[in-house]
Amino acid sequence: MKAIPFDQFRAELLRLYGPPHRAPATRRQMKQVLNLVAALGVKTTADLTQTLVARFIEGRPPGQSPRTLQSLLVCLRGVCNQATVNGYLRVSPFASRSVARWLGHIGPPTERKHYSRAEIRQVLTLMGQDVESTAGWAQWKARRLQALTATVAYTGLRRSETLFLHAADIHLEARFIALTDRGRSGGKRLKTEGSEQPVPIPDALLPILADWLSHRLDAPVDFPVPLDCPWLFPTLNRRSNWTGGPPGTKPLDRLRDVAKRAGVEGMNFLSLRHSWATHAEYHGYGPALIQRVLRHTTEQTAAKWYRHADLPNLVERCAGFDF
């Protein structure tokens, strides 16, 4: 074993996590863990010991979710394993004590928020009314929000996947959305390799997307926009995709504002993905199909994190039960 300075090892490791090798979120977490380790005074890779792991755990802020700590420890285990493989560390501190043993028992995940079919319908209906009752830029923005929200609600796509879609990814005649990992060409990475799959477009979403695609490049005569804009949901000037903006104008801000007017508090794009999984089961989709559309690695992931018991669905399904 030949230990090296931790700063040198950190730089080597982060190069392996740079684009296009790993997703940006994965690299951010790795960088966070390496910074936390460095803050504990680690000088060389030989300092990656069980004592260091214990100090790492003790240094977590009070009230932090045990699942967040679990995620950080899994990342730290990867750091130690890489140091061991490279010959910079004799043995990983996780070799004789697993992440599960460091943490002890973790209870079931907290129930995530989802919305009833009636609540989602209320929000989408109000968005449609906003399109009909406005004109000019206000109408264009209302159409964009309606199409964005409906796409997530009807397909279960992740927010980041939807906001980075290109118009060319929408295949209305074939009735599917092509999820493309553009990280290989310097664009947006998808969350996992399994995310790069076609996602079906339901009947109810077809007219909304068709309407939006016909108005996507609308603009006043004195406000020229580039006709080669690739983004499905662009900004007003069509020079980038709609991911930010001043407070109150971001996609999440707009969604929450309309949802609140519809009497539905706290709606966000992740809750719509959860809702899709919950109501897909009501529509008779089996675990394998739900996993396929959500593009999870296993059926257990969808069942554990995304499918929830929905009382209105259960009541409706069981209403006719008799002997």
Domains of the chain: 6-103 (1.10.150), 117-310 (1.10.443.10)
| Helix or strand (DSSP H, E) at 198 | strand 198-200
What does the pLDDT read at residue 319? 65
What percent of the chain is modeled with pLDDT above 90?
Answer: 60
- Average pLDDT of the residues in 1-24: 86
- Complete DSSP assignment for 141-185: HHHHHHHHHHHHHHH---HHHHHT-BGGGEETTTTEEE---GGGG
What does the pLDDT read at residue 306? 54
Task: Answer for the pair 198, 264: CB distance below 8 angstroms, yes or no.
Answer: no
Task: Answer for the pair 198, 177: CB distance below 8 angstroms, yes or no.
Answer: yes
What does the pLDDT read at residue 112? 58
Residue range 139-150, pLDDT digits in tens:
999 999 999 999
**Residue in 6, 2, 11, 13 with CA at minimum distance from that of residue 78:** 13
Residue range 250-274, pLDDT digits in tens:
999 999 999 999 999 989 999 999 8
Q: Identify the band that residue 32 occupies on the pLDDT scale cut at 50, 70 and 90.
A: very high
pTM of the model: 0.70
